[in-house]
Structures are given as C-alpha cells and as structure tokens.
Amino acid sequence: MYIGVSNDLERRVFEHKNKLVKGFASKYGLDRLIYFEKNQYIDDAIKREKQLKNWNRQWKIDLIEKENQEWNDLSVDWKY
C-alpha cells in the first residue's frame, strides 16, 4: 500500500499508472486508487498522511474496506 499527499489527485494517479515518477509506487507496481480522502488544508492532509503511515496494516485494510470492499480502482473511469 502506498500513502501520499497530492494537490492534484488525477495527475498523480496518471503518473503512477504510467510509471512517470520513480519511487515506491513504481518499484512495486502500485497503480490502482483504492481509497482517498479530501482535505481543505495541506497541513491537515500531511497530518493525516503521517497518521495513516503509522497505522498497522490491518487498520488500513479495515479503513479501505469500509468504503471499497472489493478494492476496485476508483480512478478507472477517469479521463486524463
């Protein structure tokens, strides 16, 4: 699982799907958007990112499955 912050989610997902940025997601082939949260302020988004990165794997799975039980790619219908 990859957790990150972006001010343009569609652009960032496009970059991951097309492996345009080297890093964790491209190294492990992570290219599906399975969960996201919106924040009004970047400071809140960064705080939440750090919080989630400290969670254990099962807590993250539970959070995802509350909203997306099948782990569907939420960006599948996006037009880039």
Dump pLDDT digits (tens) for 13-72: 999 999 998 998 889 999 999 999 999 999 999 999 999 999 999 999 999 999 999 999
pTM of the model: 0.88
For the chain, counts of helices (H) and of strands (E): 4, 0
pLDDT of residue 45: 98
Is pLDDT of 80 > 80?
Answer: no
Q: How far is CA 63 from CA 13, 15, 36, 45, in A?
A: 20, 24, 10, 16
In the block, residue with structure tokens 């991951």: 16
Domain locations in the chain? Answer: 9-67
